[in-house]
Protein backbone atom coordinates (compact mmCIF):
# COMPACT_ATOMS: atom_id res chain seq x y z
CA UNK A 1 0.00 0.00 0.00
CA UNK A 2 2.73 2.45 0.93
CA UNK A 3 6.37 1.92 0.15
CA UNK A 4 9.04 2.05 2.82
CA UNK A 5 11.26 4.70 1.19
CA UNK A 6 8.62 7.34 0.47
CA UNK A 7 7.34 6.84 3.99
CA UNK A 8 10.79 7.36 5.41
CA UNK A 9 11.17 10.53 3.33
CA UNK A 10 7.84 11.87 4.59
CA UNK A 11 8.66 10.99 8.18
CA UNK A 12 12.13 12.55 8.02
CA UNK A 13 10.80 15.65 6.28
CA UNK A 14 8.15 16.09 8.95
CA UNK A 15 10.70 15.59 11.68
CA UNK A 16 13.07 18.14 10.13
CA UNK A 17 10.28 20.70 9.75
CA UNK A 18 9.23 20.18 13.37
CA UNK A 19 12.82 20.52 14.55
CA UNK A 20 13.33 23.71 12.53
CA UNK A 21 10.12 25.09 13.94
CA UNK A 22 11.16 24.30 17.48
CA UNK A 23 14.60 25.83 16.89
CA UNK A 24 13.07 28.96 15.36
CA UNK A 25 10.68 29.35 18.28
CA UNK A 26 13.38 28.91 20.89
CA UNK A 27 15.69 31.22 18.92
CA UNK A 28 13.01 33.86 18.72
CA UNK A 29 12.36 33.66 22.44
CA UNK A 30 16.07 34.02 23.14
CA UNK A 31 16.63 36.95 20.79
CA UNK A 32 13.51 38.64 22.10
CA UNK A 33 14.72 38.32 25.68
CA UNK A 34 18.15 39.69 24.81
CA UNK A 35 16.67 42.45 22.61
CA UNK A 36 14.23 43.55 25.28
CA UNK A 37 17.00 43.80 27.86
CA UNK A 38 19.12 45.86 25.49
CA UNK A 39 16.23 48.13 24.65
CA UNK A 40 15.43 48.62 28.32
CA UNK A 41 19.05 49.58 28.94
CA UNK A 42 19.02 52.20 26.16
CA UNK A 43 15.66 53.49 27.33
CA UNK A 44 16.93 53.88 30.89
CA UNK A 45 19.95 55.74 29.54
CA UNK A 46 18.16 58.08 27.12
CA UNK A 47 14.84 58.84 28.80
CA UNK A 48 16.28 61.00 31.63
CA UNK A 49 18.39 62.91 29.11
CA UNK A 50 15.40 63.68 26.88
CA UNK A 51 13.39 64.69 29.94
CA UNK A 52 16.19 67.05 30.92
CA UNK A 53 16.25 68.57 27.44
CA UNK A 54 12.51 69.27 27.53
CA UNK A 55 12.21 70.33 31.18
CA UNK A 56 15.35 72.47 31.27
CA UNK A 57 14.68 73.64 27.69
CA UNK A 58 18.35 72.97 27.15
CA UNK A 59 19.45 71.61 23.74
CA UNK A 60 23.03 71.25 24.98
CA UNK A 61 22.45 68.28 27.26
CA UNK A 62 25.16 65.78 26.23
CA UNK A 63 23.80 62.69 24.48
CA UNK A 64 25.72 59.49 23.71
CA UNK A 65 26.49 58.43 20.13
CA UNK A 66 23.22 57.53 18.41
CA UNK A 67 23.78 54.43 16.33
CA UNK A 68 21.94 51.24 15.55
CA UNK A 69 19.41 50.16 18.16
CA UNK A 70 20.21 53.13 20.41
CA UNK A 71 19.25 55.48 17.58
CA UNK A 72 15.94 53.64 17.09
CA UNK A 73 15.22 53.90 20.80
CA UNK A 74 16.06 57.63 20.69
CA UNK A 75 13.60 58.10 17.84
CA UNK A 76 10.80 56.28 19.65
CA UNK A 77 11.41 58.20 22.87
CA UNK A 78 11.69 61.53 21.06
CA UNK A 79 8.42 60.84 19.20
CA UNK A 80 6.70 60.09 22.52
CA UNK A 81 8.16 63.20 24.19
CA UNK A 82 7.20 65.46 21.31
CA UNK A 83 3.60 64.26 21.62
CA UNK A 84 3.52 65.46 25.22
CA UNK A 85 5.51 68.69 25.41
CA UNK A 86 4.91 72.14 23.99
CA UNK A 87 6.80 75.43 23.78
CA UNK A 88 10.51 75.90 24.40
CA UNK A 89 11.04 72.37 25.69
CA UNK A 90 9.69 70.99 22.47
CA UNK A 91 11.82 73.37 20.41
CA UNK A 92 14.91 72.30 22.35
CA UNK A 93 14.22 68.64 21.61
CA UNK A 94 13.62 69.36 17.92
CA UNK A 95 16.88 71.31 17.84
CA UNK A 96 18.74 68.35 19.34
CA UNK A 97 17.15 65.93 16.86
CA UNK A 98 17.96 68.24 13.93
CA UNK A 99 21.53 68.92 15.01
CA UNK A 100 22.14 65.21 15.46
CA UNK A 101 20.94 64.64 11.91
CA UNK A 102 17.95 62.60 13.05
CA UNK A 103 15.41 64.62 11.08
CA UNK A 104 17.39 64.25 7.84
CA UNK A 105 17.95 60.58 8.57
CA UNK A 106 14.20 60.11 9.00
CA UNK A 107 13.52 61.94 5.72
CA UNK A 108 16.03 59.69 3.98
CA UNK A 109 14.37 56.63 5.44
CA UNK A 110 11.06 57.66 3.86
CA UNK A 111 12.55 56.63 0.53
CA UNK A 112 13.73 53.21 1.69
CA UNK A 113 11.76 50.05 0.98
CA UNK A 114 11.07 48.78 4.54
CA UNK A 115 7.51 49.75 5.52
CA UNK A 116 8.01 49.53 9.29
CA UNK A 117 11.09 51.76 9.18
CA UNK A 118 9.23 54.23 7.02
CA UNK A 119 6.28 54.23 9.42
CA UNK A 120 8.61 54.99 12.34
CA UNK A 121 10.17 57.82 10.34
CA UNK A 122 6.74 59.18 9.40
CA UNK A 123 5.60 59.18 13.04
CA UNK A 124 8.80 60.99 14.08
CA UNK A 125 8.57 63.59 11.31
CA UNK A 126 4.90 64.18 12.07
CA UNK A 127 5.75 64.97 15.67
CA UNK A 128 8.67 67.19 14.67
CA UNK A 129 6.22 68.97 12.38
CA UNK A 130 8.60 70.97 10.20
CA UNK A 131 7.24 72.31 6.93
CA UNK A 132 10.30 70.95 5.09
CA UNK A 133 9.10 67.39 5.67
CA UNK A 134 5.64 68.07 4.28
CA UNK A 135 6.31 67.35 0.59
CA UNK A 136 7.90 64.03 1.47
CA UNK A 137 4.94 63.09 3.66
CA UNK A 138 2.46 64.19 0.99
CA UNK A 139 4.21 61.99 -1.57
CA UNK A 140 3.52 59.03 0.70
CA UNK A 141 -0.21 59.64 0.37
CA UNK A 142 0.13 57.96 -3.02
CA UNK A 143 1.87 54.88 -1.60
CA UNK A 144 0.60 51.41 -2.49
CA UNK A 145 0.47 50.43 1.17
CA UNK A 146 -2.75 51.62 2.86
CA UNK A 147 -1.16 51.70 6.32
CA UNK A 148 1.68 53.82 5.06
CA UNK A 149 -0.84 56.25 3.58
CA UNK A 150 -2.74 56.31 6.87
CA UNK A 151 0.50 56.94 8.78
CA UNK A 152 1.30 59.84 6.45
CA UNK A 153 -2.19 61.29 6.99
CA UNK A 154 -1.70 61.08 10.77
CA UNK A 155 1.70 62.74 10.52
CA UNK A 156 0.37 65.55 8.36
CA UNK A 157 -2.32 66.22 10.96
CA UNK A 158 0.29 66.22 13.69
CA UNK A 159 2.14 69.05 11.98
CA UNK A 160 -0.84 71.23 12.97
CA UNK A 161 -0.62 73.14 9.72
CA UNK A 162 -4.09 74.03 8.30
CA UNK A 163 -2.58 74.11 4.81
CA UNK A 164 -2.63 70.31 4.76
CA UNK A 165 -6.44 70.13 5.11
CA UNK A 166 -7.25 70.38 1.37
CA UNK A 167 -4.68 67.63 0.70
CA UNK A 168 -6.22 65.46 3.40
CA UNK A 169 -9.74 66.00 2.11
CA UNK A 170 -8.61 65.07 -1.40
CA UNK A 171 -7.03 61.84 -0.21
CA UNK A 172 -10.41 60.34 0.72
CA UNK A 173 -11.53 60.48 -2.89
CA UNK A 174 -8.21 59.45 -4.39
CA UNK A 175 -7.76 56.13 -6.14
CA UNK A 176 -5.57 55.03 -3.25
CA UNK A 177 -7.72 56.43 -0.51
CA UNK A 178 -7.43 56.69 3.26
CA UNK A 179 -10.39 55.86 5.54
CA UNK A 180 -12.71 58.63 6.67
CA UNK A 181 -12.00 58.00 10.37
CA UNK A 182 -8.23 58.34 9.97
CA UNK A 183 -8.51 61.58 8.01
CA UNK A 184 -11.06 62.90 10.53
CA UNK A 185 -8.73 62.30 13.47
CA UNK A 186 -5.84 63.88 11.62
CA UNK A 187 -7.79 67.06 10.87
CA UNK A 188 -9.19 67.19 14.41
CA UNK A 189 -5.61 67.57 15.65
CA UNK A 190 -5.27 70.79 13.68
CA UNK A 191 -8.06 72.34 15.75
CA UNK A 192 -9.95 75.63 15.14
CA UNK A 193 -7.14 76.89 12.86
CA UNK A 194 -8.55 74.59 10.18
CA UNK A 195 -12.01 76.12 10.21
CA UNK A 196 -11.54 78.23 7.04
CA UNK A 197 -10.26 75.26 5.05
CA UNK A 198 -13.14 73.14 6.32
CA UNK A 199 -15.70 75.73 5.24
CA UNK A 200 -14.21 75.50 1.77
CA UNK A 201 -14.41 71.73 2.13
CA UNK A 202 -18.22 72.01 2.25
CA UNK A 203 -18.04 72.80 -1.47
CA UNK A 204 -15.78 69.83 -2.31
CA UNK A 205 -16.87 67.54 -5.14
CA UNK A 206 -16.49 64.43 -3.02
CA UNK A 207 -19.41 63.77 -0.65
CA UNK A 208 -17.07 62.20 1.93
CA UNK A 209 -15.00 65.38 2.03
CA UNK A 210 -18.17 67.47 2.44
CA UNK A 211 -19.42 65.12 5.19
CA UNK A 212 -16.17 65.31 7.08
CA UNK A 213 -15.96 69.07 6.72
CA UNK A 214 -19.49 69.44 8.07
CA UNK A 215 -18.86 67.10 10.98
CA UNK A 216 -15.62 68.81 12.01
CA UNK A 217 -17.05 72.30 11.67
CA UNK A 218 -19.43 71.26 14.42
CA UNK A 219 -16.40 70.71 16.63
CA UNK A 220 -14.20 73.62 15.66
CA UNK A 221 -16.26 75.77 13.35
CA UNK A 222 -17.38 78.73 15.43
CA UNK A 223 -20.19 81.10 14.52
CA UNK A 224 -18.90 81.79 10.99
CA UNK A 225 -19.57 78.17 10.09
CA UNK A 226 -23.30 78.53 10.78
CA UNK A 227 -24.48 79.85 7.43
CA UNK A 228 -22.44 77.41 5.29
CA UNK A 229 -23.67 74.53 7.43
CA UNK A 230 -27.31 75.66 7.19
CA UNK A 231 -26.94 75.86 3.39
CA UNK A 232 -25.42 72.41 3.43
CA UNK A 233 -28.25 71.03 5.57
CA UNK A 234 -30.92 72.40 3.26
CA UNK A 235 -29.33 72.06 -0.15
CA UNK A 236 -26.76 69.25 -0.29
CA UNK A 237 -27.75 66.39 -2.58
CA UNK A 238 -26.28 63.69 -0.27
CA UNK A 239 -28.27 62.64 2.78
CA UNK A 240 -25.08 61.75 4.66
CA UNK A 241 -23.73 65.28 4.27
CA UNK A 242 -27.03 66.76 5.47
CA UNK A 243 -27.07 64.44 8.50
CA UNK A 244 -23.60 65.50 9.50
CA UNK A 245 -24.47 69.16 8.94
CA UNK A 246 -27.50 68.77 11.24
CA UNK A 247 -25.31 67.15 13.89
CA UNK A 248 -22.76 69.96 13.55
CA UNK A 249 -25.47 72.62 13.90
CA UNK A 250 -26.66 70.92 17.06
CA UNK A 251 -23.13 71.00 18.46
CA UNK A 252 -22.72 74.68 17.59
CA UNK A 253 -26.01 75.28 19.43
CA UNK A 254 -27.11 78.52 17.76
CA UNK A 255 -30.84 79.37 17.62
CA UNK A 256 -30.27 80.62 14.05
CA UNK A 257 -30.16 77.01 12.95
CA UNK A 258 -33.60 76.17 14.40
CA UNK A 259 -35.76 76.89 11.29
CA UNK A 260 -33.49 74.77 9.07
CA UNK A 261 -33.43 71.97 11.61
CA UNK A 262 -37.23 72.06 11.96
CA UNK A 263 -37.48 71.87 8.18
CA UNK A 264 -35.27 68.78 8.24
CA UNK A 265 -37.59 66.96 10.63
CA UNK A 266 -40.44 66.98 8.08
CA UNK A 267 -41.94 63.60 7.27
CA UNK A 268 -40.67 63.59 3.69
CA UNK A 269 -37.04 63.80 4.88
CA UNK A 270 -34.81 60.71 5.30
CA UNK A 271 -35.43 58.98 8.65
CA UNK A 272 -31.82 59.24 9.98
CA UNK A 273 -31.77 62.95 9.14
CA UNK A 274 -35.04 63.50 11.01
CA UNK A 275 -33.64 61.70 14.09
CA UNK A 276 -30.41 63.70 14.07
CA UNK A 277 -32.17 67.01 13.41
CA UNK A 278 -34.56 66.32 16.30
CA UNK A 279 -31.63 65.67 18.58
CA UNK A 280 -29.92 68.80 17.34
CA UNK A 281 -33.03 70.82 18.24
CA UNK A 282 -32.59 69.56 21.78
CA UNK A 283 -28.95 70.58 21.80
CA UNK A 284 -29.90 74.08 20.69
CA UNK A 285 -32.67 74.05 23.33
CA UNK A 286 -34.66 76.88 21.80
CA UNK A 287 -38.32 77.08 23.01
CA UNK A 288 -39.48 77.93 19.47
CA UNK A 289 -38.98 74.24 18.60
CA UNK A 290 -41.41 72.98 21.25
CA UNK A 291 -44.44 72.71 18.95
CA UNK A 292 -42.49 70.72 16.37
CA UNK A 293 -40.98 68.48 19.03
CA UNK A 294 -44.42 67.86 20.56
CA UNK A 295 -45.53 66.48 17.22
CA UNK A 296 -42.34 64.45 16.83
CA UNK A 297 -42.66 62.73 20.21
CA UNK A 298 -45.45 60.65 18.69
CA UNK A 299 -43.20 59.57 15.83
CA UNK A 300 -41.11 56.41 15.39
CA UNK A 301 -38.80 55.23 18.17
CA UNK A 302 -35.57 57.00 17.38
CA UNK A 303 -37.21 60.32 16.54
CA UNK A 304 -39.62 60.06 19.48
CA UNK A 305 -36.87 59.31 22.00
CA UNK A 306 -34.78 62.22 20.78
CA UNK A 307 -37.83 64.50 20.74
CA UNK A 308 -38.60 63.67 24.38
CA UNK A 309 -35.07 64.51 25.47
CA UNK A 310 -35.07 67.60 23.28
CA UNK A 311 -38.29 68.83 24.88
CA UNK A 312 -36.67 68.55 28.27
CA UNK A 313 -33.89 70.84 27.06
CA UNK A 314 -36.32 73.45 25.71
CA UNK A 315 -37.13 75.11 29.02
CA UNK A 316 -40.35 75.17 30.99
CA UNK A 317 -42.64 74.91 27.96
CA UNK A 318 -40.99 71.69 26.89
CA UNK A 319 -41.12 70.22 30.38
CA UNK A 320 -44.79 71.14 30.68
CA UNK A 321 -45.47 69.14 27.52
CA UNK A 322 -43.54 66.17 28.95
CA UNK A 323 -45.44 66.30 32.24
CA UNK A 324 -48.80 66.48 30.48
CA UNK A 325 -47.84 63.47 28.32
CA UNK A 326 -46.43 61.54 31.28
CA UNK A 327 -49.76 61.90 33.07
CA UNK A 328 -51.73 60.75 30.03
CA UNK A 329 -52.83 57.19 29.24
CA UNK A 330 -49.90 54.80 28.49
CA UNK A 331 -51.11 54.31 24.93
CA UNK A 332 -51.09 58.05 24.23
CA UNK A 333 -48.35 58.64 21.59
CA UNK A 334 -45.18 59.84 23.25
CA UNK A 335 -46.37 59.08 26.76
CA UNK A 336 -43.80 56.30 27.53
CA UNK A 337 -40.97 58.47 26.23
CA UNK A 338 -42.11 61.39 28.35
CA UNK A 339 -42.22 59.18 31.44
CA UNK A 340 -38.76 57.79 30.75
CA UNK A 341 -37.29 61.23 30.18
CA UNK A 342 -38.75 62.68 33.35
CA UNK A 343 -37.71 59.64 35.40
CA UNK A 344 -34.17 59.84 34.06
CA UNK A 345 -34.09 63.57 34.65
CA UNK A 346 -35.27 63.12 38.22
CA UNK A 347 -32.41 60.68 38.70
CA UNK A 348 -29.81 62.83 37.09
CA UNK A 349 -30.59 66.27 35.75
CA UNK A 350 -27.46 66.21 33.67
CA UNK A 351 -28.57 63.18 31.70
CA UNK A 352 -31.27 65.01 29.81
CA UNK A 353 -28.77 67.39 28.31
CA UNK A 354 -26.77 64.48 26.91
CA UNK A 355 -29.02 63.00 24.24
CA UNK A 356 -28.56 59.53 22.91
CA UNK A 357 -25.90 59.17 20.26
CA UNK A 358 -27.93 56.71 18.24
Partner 1 sequence: MKEVSIAVESGFDWFVVGYFLVLSTMYLALILLASRELLRYFRRRPFIGHDEVFDHPLAPPISVIMPAHNEEVFIVDAARAMLGLHYPELEVIVVDDGSTDATFERLQHAFDLVQVPLVMPPLVPTLGDVHSTHLPRGHEPLVVVRKESVGSKADALNAGIRAAHYPLLCMVDADAILDPDALLLMARPFVEDPHMVAAGGSIRAVNDSTVYRGQLIEARIPRRWLPRIQVVEYLRAFLLGRTGWAKLGCLLVISGAFGVFRRDVVIEVGGYDADAIGEDADLVARIHRLLLRQRRRYSMAFVSEPVCWTEVPETREVLGRQRGRWSQGLFQVLWTYRGMIFNPRYGRIGLVVLPYFLLFELLGPVVELLGLLSVTVGLALGLINVPFAVLFFLVAFGYGILLSWISIAIEEFSYHRYPQWRDLAWAVAAAVVENVGYRQLHDWWRIKGIWHGARRRQPVWGVMHRVGFTPERTPEAKPEPVTPPSR
Residue 105 is a binding residue for partner 1 (CB under 8 A): no
> Rounded to whole angstroms, how far apart are CA atoms 357 and 176?
31
Per-residue mark of binding to partner 1, 22-41 (x: CB under 8 A): x-xxx-xx--x---------
Stretch that binds partner 1, among 13-21, 99-107, 261-269, 278-286 (CB under 8 A): 13-21
Restricted to residues 312-351, the positions that interact with partner 1 (CB under 8 A) are 336-337, 339-340, 343-344, 347-348, 350
Per-residue mark of binding to partner 1, 44-83 (x: CB under 8 A): --------------------------------x-------
Residue 173 is a binding residue for partner 1 (CB under 8 A): no
92: left (phi over 0), alpha (psi -120 to 50) or beta: alpha
Q: How far is CA 247 from CA 217, 230, 291, 358, in A?
A: 10, 11, 21, 12
Residue 270 is a binding residue for partner 1 (CB under 8 A): no
Residue 249 is a binding residue for partner 1 (CB under 8 A): no
Please provide the size of the chain in residues: 358
> Rounded to whole angstroms, how far apart are CA atoms 281 and 271?
15
> Rounded to whole angstroms, how far apart are CA atoms 153 and 84?
20
Residues ≥6 apart with Cβ < 8 Å to 210:
201, 202, 203, 204, 232, 236, 238, 241
Q: State which residue, 56 or 112, has the beta carbon closest to partner 1.
A: 112
> Rounded to whole angstroms, how far apart are CA atoms 162 and 159?
9
What does R_g of the chain's alpha carbons equal in angstroms?
29
Per-residue mark of binding to partner 1, 125-164 (x: CB under 8 A): ----------------------x--xx--x----------
Q: Which residues bind partner 1 (CB under 8 A)?
A: 1-4, 7, 10-11, 14, 17-18, 21-22, 24-26, 28-29, 32, 76, 115-116, 119-120, 122-123, 147, 150-151, 154, 179-182, 184-185, 188, 215, 219, 301, 305, 336-337, 339-340, 343-344, 347-348, 350, 356-358
Amino acid sequence: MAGGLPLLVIGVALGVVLLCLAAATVGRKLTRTVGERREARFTDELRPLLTRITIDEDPDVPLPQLRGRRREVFEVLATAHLAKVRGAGREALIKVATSRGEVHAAERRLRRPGVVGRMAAIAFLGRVGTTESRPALERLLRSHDPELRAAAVRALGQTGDPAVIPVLLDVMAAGRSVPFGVVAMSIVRIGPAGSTALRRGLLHDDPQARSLSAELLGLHGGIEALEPLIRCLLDDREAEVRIRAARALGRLGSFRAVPALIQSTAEDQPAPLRAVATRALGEVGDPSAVDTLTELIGDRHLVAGNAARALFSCGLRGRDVLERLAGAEPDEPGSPYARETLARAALDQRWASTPSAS
